[in-house]
C-alpha cells in the first residue's frame, strides 16, 4: 500500500472512503468530523443522538455520502475517552477503521490524523501512529496462495493522510513517512516469520540481509559454516550438525567504522525450524516452530529501518541462523560444545538450542566494544507460562538500559516486563563436566534460567535479553496485530535507538 499526505479538507478528498473520528461522550462533532457532519447535513450528529454510535475505542460506523462529498462513504471510528487517549489509541482506532474499509472493498482510503486535533497529541507522532495502525492491521500473507479469494475483487492500495492545517502538513508528512518505514520493516519481519521452514531457511535469511544491505547501504557480511569454524563458533555449528540445511551467521552494520558514534548491537535468534533435535518435540503444534526465527526477523526488520532512517549511531545486527533437526550427525544430550568466547557447554537438552546459538552471537558482539547489546529470542515456553501472550519477558545486567527499553515499550505499545536474574538461577546452569550446561534443575523459573545461561556469554557491556516467545507470533488477530508472525521488537528497537541520544 502506498501512503501520501495531502493538504486539504477531508470532505473534499477524492477517495473510495474517508475516515473521521469521534471521542466518547461528544454529541456535537467538531474539527474535520464536524465538517463532514455538516456536508452530510447532520448525519453523524443523528447517529450519536440515536444512540447508535458511542465513540468507544475501535467502534466503527459507515455512512453514505449520497453525492454530498466526492467520497461515497464515510467511516467513523471511536477514539474512546479523551482523557485515556494516547498513541496506542491512535494505532488501535486507525486499525479498526482501516479493517472496516478493507472489508468494504475500498481501494483508495483517506484518513485524518487521529488525535492531533482535540486529542492534543504531537502531530508528527500521531501521523506516524495513524499510518502504522492502518497498514499493520491490513497486512496479509498471501504469497503462497495460488487461488484468489472471490470476495476480494479489489485491494486496499492507497492511504491518503489528509491534513487541513497548512502549518502542520509538513510534520504530518514527515510522521507519515516514518510510519511507512516502520510498517515496511514490520512487514518484512512478518513475511520472514510466516514463510514456512522450507522457504525461510538460514540461506533465505542471509539473502534477505544482503537485499536489505543493497537497498539501504548497510554493510553485510555472511559467514558460512567454514568461516564459522575458523572463527570458533562451535555452538552454532553444534546445533546445525543434525541438519542438511547449512547454517549462516549474518552481520549487518550501519555506519560501520564510525568510531565517533555510540555502538549498539542487536542479536536475534534465527532458528528457522525447531524440531527439538534429538530431544524431539511432540508433533502437535510443531508447525509453529517455523516462527522460532522471529528474534532474527526482528533484527533484520529493525536494521532495514535503521538504514532507511539513517540514524546517527553505529548499529550492528547479528543473526545466528540454523535449523534444529535430529539428523544422524546431530548433537546429542551430554555432548560438550565450545563457544566463541572459549567456554564449554554441556548440552543436556538439544531443544534448549536458542540459548546455544545466542552464546556465539553474544560472544561475537564483544568485538564491537558496544555501549549496549540487546538480544531477542523465542527462547522459552516458560516465558509464556509467566506472562501469557501479553508481554515480552525482559532480563538485564543493567537497570538503566532496561529502563530505556521500558520507555520504548511504552511509546510503541510493544509491552516488555522485567523478570529476575538471580545468582540462584545462574547456579542452576553449573555443570559437572563443562563450564555450564544448557538447562537448570527442573521446570521452575525456566525463562530466568535461559537468561542465566546467556549471561555466561555476555561480555563487558550493558545487556538486555528479550524473550519474545510470548509475543513473537499469535493465533488471534487483535487491533493492528495480525494472525501469525507479529513482527514484535522491530518498532521497539528502532524507538529505543531514536531516543538513545
Ligand atoms: N523455541 C523453543 C521455545 C518456545 C516454545 C517458544 C514454545 C515458543 C513456544 C525453545 O527452543 C525451546 O524448545 N525451549 C525449551 C527449553 C527447555 C528444553 C529447557 C522449552 O521452553 O521448553
Ligand atoms: Zn527448542
Ligand atoms: Zn527454539
> Where among 140, 157, 174 does a domain terminate?
157
* Closest ligand 1 atom to 324 CA: 11
Report the distance separating Cα 102 and Cα 104, nearest Å.
Answer: 5
pLDDT for 29: 97
Total domains, the chain: 2
Residue nearest to atom 3 of ligand 1 (CA): 380
* Helix, strand, coil percent values for the chain (each to nearest 5): 40, 20, 40
Report the distance separating Cα 169 and Cα 161, nearest Å.
Answer: 10
Sequence length of the chain is 501
423 in any annotated domain: yes
**Ordered DSSP codes for 208-239:** HHHHHHHHH--EEEEE-HHHHHHHT-HHHHHH
Same domain, 118 and 222: no
Q: Ligand 1 pocket: which residues have CB below 6 Å?
A: 274, 292, 349, 351-354, 378-382, 439, 446, 469
Same domain, 289 and 200: yes
Three cell numbers, residue 288: 509453529
* Average of per-residue pLDDT across 97-126: 94
Contact 239, 349 (CB under 8 A): no
pLDDT for 151: 62
Comparing CA positions, the residue from 382, 490, 120, 130 lying closest to residue 498 is: 490
pLDDT for 150: 64
* Average of per-residue pLDDT across 92-105: 98
- 275, 279, 347, 368 from 282: Cα distances, Å: 9, 10, 20, 40
Same domain, 57 and 118: yes
pLDDT for 393: 99
Ligand 3 (single-atom ion) residues, CB below 5 Å: 271, 274, 292, 354
Report the distance separating Cα 436 and Cα 345, nearest Å.
Answer: 5
Active-site position among 73, 195, 355, 437: 355
Span of 53-62, 113-122, 174-183, 186-195 with lowest mean pLDDT: 113-122
Same domain, 331 and 428: yes
* Closest ligand 1 atom to 379 CA: 3
* Average of per-residue pLDDT across 151-174: 91
User: What share of the chain has pLDDT > 70, as a percent?
Assistant: 99
Backbone torsion region of residue 372, taken as left when φ is above 0, otherwise alpha when ψ lies between -120 and 50, otherwise beta: beta
Residue of 271, 320, 351 best suited for mutating to test ligand 1, as the one with most atoms within 8 Å of CB: 351
105 in any annotated domain: yes
Same domain, 142 and 229: no
- ∠ CA 63-69-72, nearest 5°, is 50
Q: In this model, does residue 147 exceed pLDDT 90?
A: no
Residue of 347, 353, 378, 380 best suited for mutating to test ligand 1, as the one with most atoms within 8 Å of CB: 380
Reported as type and span, the H/E element at residue 496 is helix 490-498
- ∠ CA 191-242-292, nearest 5°, is 25
- ∠ CA 375-279-195, nearest 5°, is 55
Helix (H, G, I), strand (E, B) or coil at 305: helix
Report the distance separating Cα 358 and Cα 23, nearest Å.
Answer: 46
> Where among 157, 178, 204 does a domain terminate?
157
- Residue whose entry in the numeric block shows the C-alpha cell 520504548: 408
pLDDT for 154: 74
Three cell numbers, residue 47: 447517529
Question: What does the buried/exposed string (b/e) look like for 389-428 if buried means 16 or more CB atoms within 10 Å of the residue's CB?
Answer: bebbbbbbbeeebbebbbebbebbbbbbbbbebeeebbeb
143 in any annotated domain: yes
Report the distance separating Cα 317 and Cα 338, nearest Å.
Answer: 23
The question of whether 100 is a catalytic residue gets the answer no
pLDDT digits (tens, 9 = 90+) for 324-383: 999 999 999 999 999 999 999 999 999 999 999 999 999 999 999 999 999 999 999 999
- 13, 53, 228, 308 from 485: Cα distances, Å: 35, 33, 29, 23
Report the distance separating Cα 480 and Cα 501, nearest Å.
Answer: 29
CA of 370 to the centre of ligand 2 (A): 28
Q: In this model, does residue 216 exceed pLDDT 90?
A: yes
**Cβ-based neighbour number of residue 149 at 10 Å:** 9
> Where among 141, 157, 173 does a domain terminate?
157
406 Cβ contact partners less than 8 Å away, ≥ 6 residues apart: 394, 416, 418
CA of 494 to the centre of ligand 1 (A): 27
Same domain, 151 and 252: no
172 in any annotated domain: no
226 in any annotated domain: yes
Range of the domain at 411: 186-498
Same domain, 131 and 203: no
Same domain, 215 and 147: no
Active-site position among 56, 184, 281, 389: 281
Same domain, 219 and 122: no
Report the distance separating Cα 67 and Cα 268, nearest Å.
Answer: 53
Report the distance separating Cα 165 and Cα 127, nearest Å.
Answer: 13
Same domain, 28 and 152: yes
Residue 133 sits in a domain of what CATH number? Answer: 3.40.220.10
CA of 276 to the centre of ligand 3 (A): 7
33 in any annotated domain: yes
CA of 267 to the centre of ligand 3 (A): 15
Residue nearest to atom 7 of ligand 1 (CA): 381
Q: In this model, does residue 62 exceed pLDDT 80?
A: yes
CA of 412 to the centre of ligand 2 (A): 29
CA of 241 to the centre of ligand 2 (A): 15
pLDDT digits (tens, 9 = 90+) for 242-274: 999 999 999 999 999 999 999 999 999 999 999
466 in any annotated domain: yes
Residue 413 sits in a domain of what CATH number? Answer: 3.40.630.10
171 in any annotated domain: no
The question of whether 195 is a catalytic residue gets the answer no
pLDDT for 293: 99
pLDDT for 153: 59
- H helices present in 413-486, as ranges: 423-428, 446-455
Q: How confident is the model at residue 80 (pLDDT cuts 50, 70, 90)?
A: very high
Mean pLDDT of all residues in the chain? 97
Same domain, 90 and 150: yes
Contact 469, 351 (CB under 8 A): no
Specify the DSSP class assigned to residue 23: -
Q: In this model, does residue 4 exceed pLDDT 90?
A: yes
Contact 269, 351 (CB under 8 A): no
Report the distance separating Cα 216 and Cα 307, nearest Å.
Answer: 5
Q: In this model, does residue 152 exceed pLDDT 80?
A: no
* Closest ligand 1 atom to 353 CA: 11
pLDDT for 118: 76
pLDDT digits (tens, 9 = 90+) for 413-458: 999 999 999 999 999 999 999 999 999 999 999 999 999 999 999 9
pTM of this prediction exceeds 0.95: yes
Same domain, 150 and 204: no
* Average of per-residue pLDDT across 212-235: 98
Contact 201, 323 (CB under 8 A): yes
Amino acid at each position: 500500500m502506498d501512503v501520501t499526505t495531502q493538504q486539504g479538507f477531508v470532505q473534499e478528498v477524492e477517495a473510495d472512503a474517508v475516515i473521521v473520528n469521534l471521542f466518547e461522550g461528544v454529541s456535537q462533532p467538531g474539527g474535520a468530523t464536524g465538517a463532514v457532519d455538516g456536508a452530510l447535513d447532520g448525519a453523524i450528529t443523528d447517529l450519536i443522538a440515536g444512540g447508535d454510535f458511542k465513540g468507544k475505542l475501535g467502534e466503527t460506523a459507515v455512512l453514505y455520502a449520497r453525492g454530498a462529498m466526492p467520497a461515497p462513504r464515510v467511516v467513523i471510528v471511536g477514539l474512546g475517552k479523551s482523557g485515556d487517549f494516547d498513541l496506542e489509541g491512535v494505532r488501535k482506532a486507525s486499525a479498526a477503521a482501516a479493517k472496516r474499509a478493507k472489508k468494504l472493498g475500498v481501494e483508495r482510503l483517506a484518513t485524518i490524523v487521529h488525535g492531533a486535533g482535540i486529542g492534543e497529541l504531537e502531530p508528527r507522532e500521531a501521523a506516524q501512529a495513524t499510518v502504522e495502525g492502518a497498514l499493520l492491521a491490513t497486512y496479509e500473507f498471501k504469497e503462497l496462495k495460488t487461488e484468489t479469494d472471490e470476495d476480494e475483487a479489489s485491494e486496499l492500495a492507497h492511504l491518503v493522510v489528509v491534513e487541513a492545517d497548512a502549518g502542520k502538513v509538513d510534520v504530518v508528512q514527515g510522521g507519515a513517512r516514518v510510519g511507512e518505514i516502520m510498517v515496511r520493516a514490520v512487514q518484512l519481519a512478518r513475511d520472514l516469520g510466516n514463510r514456512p521452514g522450507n522457504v525461510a531457511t538460514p540461506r533465505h535469511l542471509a539473502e534477505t540481509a544482503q537485499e536489505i544491505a543493497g537497498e539501504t547501504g548497510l554493510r553485510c557480511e555472511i559467514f558460512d559454516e567454514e568461516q564459522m569454524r575458523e572463527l570458533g563458533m562451535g555452538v552454532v555449528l553444534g546445533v546445525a550438525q543434525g541438519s542438511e540445511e547449512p547454517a549462516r551467521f549474518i552481520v549487518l552494520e550501519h555506519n560501520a567504522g564510525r568510531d565517533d558514534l555510540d555502538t549498539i548491537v542487536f542479536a536475534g535468534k534465527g532458528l528457522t525450524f525447531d524440531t527439538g533435535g534429538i530431544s524431539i518435540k511432540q508433533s502437535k503444534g510443531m508447525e509453529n516452530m517455523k516462527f522460532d526465527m522471529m528474534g532474527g526477523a526482528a533484527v533484520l526488520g529493525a536494521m532495514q529501518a535503521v538504514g532507511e532512517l539513517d540514524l546517527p549511531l553505529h548499529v550492528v545486527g547479528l543473526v545466528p541462523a540454523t535449523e534444529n533437526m535430529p539428523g544422524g550427525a546431530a548433537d546429542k544430550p551430554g555432548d560438550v560444545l565450545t563457544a566463541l568466547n572459549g567456554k564449554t557447554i554441556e548440552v543436556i537438552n538439544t531443544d534448549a538450542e536458542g540459548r546455544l546459538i545466542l552464546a556465539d552471537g553474544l560472544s561475537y558482539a564483544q568485538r564491537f566494544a558496544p555501549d549496549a547489546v540487546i538480544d531477542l529470542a523465542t527462547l522459552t515456553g516458560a516465558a509464556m507460562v509467566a506472562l501469557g501472550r501479553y508481554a515480552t519477558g525482559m532480563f538485564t545486567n543493567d537497570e538503566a538500559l532496561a529502563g530505556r527499553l521500558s520507555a520504548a515499550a511504552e511509546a510503541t505499545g510493544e509491552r516488555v516486563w522485567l523478570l529476575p536474574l538471580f545468582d540462584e538461577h545462574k547456579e542452576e546452569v553449573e555443570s559437572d563436566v563443562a563450564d555450564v550446561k544448557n538447562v537448570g534443575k527442573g521446570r521452575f523459573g525456566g525463562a530466568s534460567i535461559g537468561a542465566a545461561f546467556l549471561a555466561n556469554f555476555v561480555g563487558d557491556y550493558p545487556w538486555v535479553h528479550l524473550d519474545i516467545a510470548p509475543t513473537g507470533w499469535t493465533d488471534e488477530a487483535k487491533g493492528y496485530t495480525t494472525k501469525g508472525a507479529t513482527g514484535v521488537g522491530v518498532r521497539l528497537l528502532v524507538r529505543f535507538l531514536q531516543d538513545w541520544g
